[in-house]
Chain A
Amino acid sequence: MPFIREILNYRSLSIVGLEKNTGKTECLNYILERLPLEKMRVGVSSIGIDGERRDQVTQTAKPEIFLRDGIIFSTTEKHFRQRKLVAELLEIGDLHTSLGRIITAKVVSPGKVMLSGPPSTQELIKWIKNLNYQHNVQLSIIDGALSRLSPASPAVSEAMILATGAALSLTFSDLIAKTNHVVKLVNIESTKHDIPVELTSTQNGIWLYDTSSQKHTVLYDSAFTMNEREVSRKNDGDLVFVSGAITDRLMNKLSSDKYLNNCEIVVKDFTKIFLTPLLFNNFIKKGGKISVMNRSKLLAICVNPVSPTGYKLDSDAICNELYKLTGVAAYDIFKYN
């Protein structure tokens, strides 16, 4: 059974897709069906709305989430009322979403439910903590929504599964290249340097850090106001720490600066990298070094070879090619289901 045993080593898992209809829900159902529930408590929710019977954008049929008894789940009031299972209500959260408050319940008798959970990553982090402390949940699983990668941030979940497929691109090579790019980002090595907490906990600014003297100075107060550089001395540091997102504009700025183009660039995690594949690849080819504070653990890639419009790609070829390129196991979950 692929990757189920590996999941048990982690306390939280997110399933994120590169596009809608890449099979996140199928993948979640696959996992939930196989987890040893008699040995552990599992919690499941989603970021934002998911689990609709019909896709809200493309109007294609979507699988519902099937929950076995013992599973703890969180969903909004609206979707809780529409549940097709017997569940013991455990808690009503204070947060109001567009679909009502978030209800946490335990499945008593199995059935189907729509999942629509906390809408932001901050709330998701709280949700995972609460499930762990209040309801003794050992593994929390987050079903991603749309093409949002944010729940896969190591700040939220320890491990991730990436869903890709024909919905992303119908051209074989394009699909492989786009998926490969994301996997490359996920697999960026974590930095070998010890960066002090006062720097890693800052919410804004781009900083220059000197690994030998362990001192840091601010380079730009914000990526929006980086026309004027505060400090421009080469000997001020050999590492650039970006507290927020790294974009093409910032990257161009950094790599064109003769004092900075040899510096190692450090970001918090891969979800903060918003670089186009071309720029990213050029940077790496030129010998640039980019690393993360926290590296994500990518357990597997799931492939949905069917596009929402009905086209079907050769799933074996995709899986083999992805494995060859990335070294991460790729599966067509639909075959296993």
Chain B
Amino acid sequence: MKERFRKILDIECGLRYMYSTLELSSSFSQKMLLEKPIMTSASEIERYYYGIYEVVELLTSNNHFKEISRKLNIYLAHLKDIRNSLIRISEGTIADDIELFEIKSLVIINQKIQDLLSGFGIKAISLPELDDLQRKLDPDNTGVNSFYIYDSYDCELARLRAEIKSEPIYNDELNYRCSLIEHRIRKELSQFIKERYELLKQSYENLTSLDILIGKSNQILSEGLTIPKISQEVMVINGMFNPEVSAILMKEGKEYQKTQITLEQGVPTLVTGSNMGGKSLTIKTLALCQYLFQFGFGIPADSALLFPVQEILISTGDQEDYKRGLSSFAAEMVYIDKIIKKIKSGIVCLTLIDEPARTTNPTEGAALASSLLKILSKSKGFSVMTSHYTISNANCNRVRVLGFSNGTMDYSLIPDDGKDTPAEAINIAESLSIDQEWIQIAKKEITNTNI
């Protein structure tokens, strides 16, 4: 069972924020997006991004399309979720006037959008021909979005209705005869719709897809995202940023420092560096990018070369579960154990582990972390691990947060030889104006141990 968008929305990496900045015209499209399964095949993702590319191109360079996109939004806003009605009709139920009205609305939206889009040749969207349905549901050819069992469906019905109107009081017999004819007409219409069920399904699927494509494309343009390229073996993200954090910083009048990272298939990447250097944020943003990639969104980076994986595994080390009687350490171990089992089963995944065993003593913690790195190096996929511990002789790519220079934090990730662990904790604590006595004693302690 593939993961659906709804399920991963609240993983703490900023997806909820991305979803909140995505503007869709119809709540039905929103529902469809939430139900979308994750894409894992490269060709599927490539095809999807081609559609986004097409729409982004039109939105940026075609003035005529910009004009009609407002109209598109208005039509799309009227899309309603009528899947249940359609399924019932396809199973032979007779539709009532409300359902027939809703189907007619869908048909009209389909036809209007088809007209608007003709000439733009968006390959990702193919709306079906529903002319015969439109003629059937609009027998008087009014073009108006309204519905009832029209007089023109049956001349006997028209005659009876005229008779009812001329009667001074409510005539039961005449009304009964009318209702029989109306029922027969509804039955015929339902049969007609039933035969075109697949076309109607194709219509709402493509219309909601169009809404989502336009929403994602507008998001790419407004949030400064990029359309990724699909890679065969490495992942390279240049100018990566976390939109949620970036928005918060912007409010405070600060600027987000973008970073650059390269991941190699089969070789884990170890990220070290001082506290507050953005290691955890790197892990979260990597998860965000990968999810956005596999759900076909723009990527928050200047450019991105990404690889589709079977599964995204992320451990942030804060899975404490007091209800199950697990301490933060125990919960983390149990969680990482699950991840290891997945890796050993041989699936290609992106594993992101933030400071494993951080809550225990440094000797054992370092041993657990460095051994985990060894297991990660057996993975067929991509893995990133952050740590404060000194981990030597491991087969991995090392990068380090540049750290404090000239009193400001430089978040850049630079290649590292792994010879010494960065010792900036006290400097950082000092910059946070922590109690001076505490800092001074700590400094003394360090000099004492070094002697």
Interface contact B96-A81, CB-CB below 8 Å: yes
Interface contact A106-B146, CB-CB below 8 Å: yes
How far apart are B157's CB and chain A's nearest CB, in angstroms?
10
How far apart are B179's CB and chain A's nearest CB, in angstroms?
10
Interface contact B97-A89, CB-CB below 8 Å: yes
Q: Which chain B residues numbered 130 to 182 have a C-beta less than 8 Å away from chain A?
A: 145-149, 161, 164-165, 170, 175, 178
Nearest B residue to A81 via CB reads: B96
Interface contact B170-A111, CB-CB below 8 Å: yes
Interface contact A87-B80, CB-CB below 8 Å: no
* A80 interface hit (Cβ, 8 Å): yes
How far apart are A33's CB and chain B's nearest CB, in angstroms?
13
Partner of A88, one of B27, B98, B147, B175: B147
CB-CB under 8 A for A92 and B98, given A84-B175, A106-B146, A108-B148 = yes
* B311 interface hit (Cβ, 8 Å): no
Nearest A residue to B96 via CB reads: A81
CB-CB under 8 A for A89 and B147, given A81-B96, A84-B175 = yes
Q: Which chain A positions have C-beta within 8 A of B146?
A: 88-90, 106
Within the assembled complex, what's the spacing in Å between the Cα atoms of A77 and B164? 25
Q: Which chain A positions have C-beta within 8 A of B101?
A: 89, 92
Q: Which chain B positions have C-beta within 8 A of A106?
A: 146
* A288 interface hit (Cβ, 8 Å): no
CB-CB under 8 A for A80 and B98, given A89-B147, A89-B148, A109-B164 = yes
Q: Which chain A residues numbered 98 to 115 have a C-beta less than 8 Å away from chain B?
A: 103, 105-106, 108-112
* A61 interface hit (Cβ, 8 Å): no
Within the assembled complex, what's the spacing in Å between the Cα atoms of A111 and B145? 23
* A86 interface hit (Cβ, 8 Å): yes
* B102 interface hit (Cβ, 8 Å): yes
Q: Which chain A residues numbered 73 to 100 have a C-beta less than 8 Å away from chain B?
A: 77, 80-81, 84, 86-90, 92, 94
Nearest B residue to A89 via CB reads: B101
CB-CB under 8 A for A86 and B161, given A92-B80, A106-B146 = yes
Nearest A residue to B157 via CB reads: A86
Within the assembled complex, what's the spacing in Å between the Cα atoms of A86 and B178? 10
Q: Which chain B positions have C-beta within 8 A of A92?
A: 80, 98, 101-102
Q: Please classify how large the interface on chain A is, using the bins under 10, 10 to 19, 20 to 34, 35 or more.
A: 20 to 34
Q: Which chain A residues numbered 32 to 81 have a C-beta less than 8 Å away from chain B?
A: 69, 77, 80-81
How far apart are B398's CB and chain A's nearest CB, in angstroms?
55
Within the assembled complex, what's the spacing in Å between the Cα atoms of A106 and B146? 9
Q: Which chain B positions have C-beta within 8 A of A90?
A: 145-146
Looking at A80, A86, A88, A108, the one whose CB has the most chain B CB atoms below 10 A away is: A86
Within the assembled complex, what's the spacing in Å between the Cα atoms of A135 and B341? 63
How far apart are B22's CB and chain A's nearest CB, in angstroms?
20
Interface contact B164-A103, CB-CB below 8 Å: no
Nearest B residue to A69 via CB reads: B165
Within the assembled complex, what's the spacing in Å between the Cα atoms of A89 and B161? 17
CB-CB under 8 A for A110 and B96, given A88-B147, A89-B146, A92-B102 = no
Q: Which chain B positions have C-beta within 8 A of A110?
A: 165
Q: Which chain A positions have C-beta within 8 A of B165?
A: 69, 109-110
Q: Which chain A positions have C-beta within 8 A of B149?
A: 86
Within the assembled complex, what's the spacing in Å between the Cα atoms of A111 and B178? 13
Q: Which chain B positions have C-beta within 8 A of A86?
A: 148-149, 161, 178
Q: Which chain A residues numbered 134 to 155 have a C-beta less than 8 Å away from chain B?
A: none
Q: Which chain B positions have C-beta within 8 A of A111?
A: 170, 175
Within the assembled complex, what's the spacing in Å between the Cα atoms of A77 and B165? 25
Nearest B residue to A109 via CB reads: B161
Q: Which chain A positions have C-beta within 8 A of B27?
A: 94
Within the assembled complex, what's the spacing in Å between the Cα atoms of A99 and B155? 35
Interface contact B147-A77, CB-CB below 8 Å: no
Contact with A along B5-43 (1 / 0, CB 8 A): 000000000000000000000010000000000000000
Within the assembled complex, what's the spacing in Å between the Cα atoms of A110 and B178? 14
Nearest A residue to B102 via CB reads: A92
Interface contact A88-B102, CB-CB below 8 Å: no
How far apart are B143's CB and chain A's nearest CB, in angstroms?
14
Within the assembled complex, what's the spacing in Å between the Cα atoms of A307 and B303? 78
How far apart are B166's CB and chain A's nearest CB, in angstroms?
11
Interface contact A87-B170, CB-CB below 8 Å: no
Within the assembled complex, what's the spacing in Å between the Cα atoms of A90 and B78? 13
Within the assembled complex, what's the spacing in Å between the Cα atoms of A88 and B98? 10
Nearest A residue to B151 via CB reads: A108
Within the assembled complex, what's the spacing in Å between the Cα atoms of A156 and B145? 28
Within the assembled complex, what's the spacing in Å between the Cα atoms of A103 and B145? 13
Q: Which chain B residues numbered 84 to 130 have a C-beta less than 8 Å away from chain A?
A: 96-98, 101-102
Nearest A residue to B147 via CB reads: A89
Interface contact A89-B98, CB-CB below 8 Å: yes
Q: Which chain B positions have C-beta within 8 A of A108?
A: 148, 161
Within the assembled complex, what's the spacing in Å between the Cα atoms of A77 and B96? 11
Contact with A along B228-251 (1 / 0, CB 8 A): 000000000000000000000000
Looking at A77, A81, A89, A92, the one whose CB has the most chain B CB atoms below 10 A away is: A89
Within the assembled complex, what's the spacing in Å between the Cα atoms of A88 and B27? 26
Q: Which chain A positions have C-beta within 8 A of B161?
A: 86, 108-109
Q: Which chain A positions have C-beta within 8 A of B170?
A: 84, 111-112
Interface contact B147-A103, CB-CB below 8 Å: no
How far apart are A291's CB and chain B's nearest CB, in angstroms?
43
CB-CB under 8 A for A103 and B148, given A84-B175, A92-B80, A109-B161 = no
Nearest A residue to B161 via CB reads: A109
How far apart are B269's CB and chain A's nearest CB, in angstroms?
48
Within the assembled complex, what's the spacing in Å between the Cα atoms of A109 and B170? 11
How far apart are B377's CB and chain A's nearest CB, in angstroms?
54
How far apart are A309's CB and chain B's nearest CB, in angstroms?
29
Within the assembled complex, what's the spacing in Å between the Cα atoms of A103 and B80? 14
How far apart are A76's CB and chain B's nearest CB, in angstroms?
11
Looking at A90, A108, A109, the one whose CB has the most chain B CB atoms below 10 A away is: A109
Q: Which chain B positions have C-beta within 8 A of A88?
A: 146-148
How far apart are B172's CB and chain A's nearest CB, in angstroms?
10
How far apart are A8's CB and chain B's nearest CB, in angstroms?
25
Interface contact A77-B148, CB-CB below 8 Å: no
How far apart are A82's CB and chain B's nearest CB, in angstroms?
11
Within the assembled complex, what's the spacing in Å between the Cα atoms of A90 and B149? 13
Within the assembled complex, what's the spacing in Å between the Cα atoms of A87 and B96? 13
Q: Which chain B positions have C-beta within 8 A of A94?
A: 27
How far apart are B63's CB and chain A's nearest CB, in angstroms?
30
Q: Which chain B positions have C-beta within 8 A of A81?
A: 96, 98
Nearest A residue to B165 via CB reads: A109
Within the assembled complex, what's the spacing in Å between the Cα atoms of A258 and B161? 72
Within the assembled complex, what's the spacing in Å between the Cα atoms of A92 and B103? 12
How far apart are A133's CB and chain B's nearest CB, in angstroms?
14
Chain B residues within CB distance 8 Å of chain A: 27, 80, 96-98, 101-102, 145-149, 161, 164-165, 170, 175, 178
Chain A residues within CB distance 8 Å of chain B: 69, 77, 80-81, 84, 86-90, 92, 94, 103, 105-106, 108-112
6 A–B pairs (Cβ distance < 8 Å), ordered by A:
A69-B165, A77-B98, A94-B27, A108-B161, A109-B165, A111-B170
| Known contacts A80-B97, A86-B148, A89-B148; 6 further A-B pairs (Cβ under 8 A) | A77-B98, A89-B97, A89-B101, A103-B98, A106-B146, A110-B165
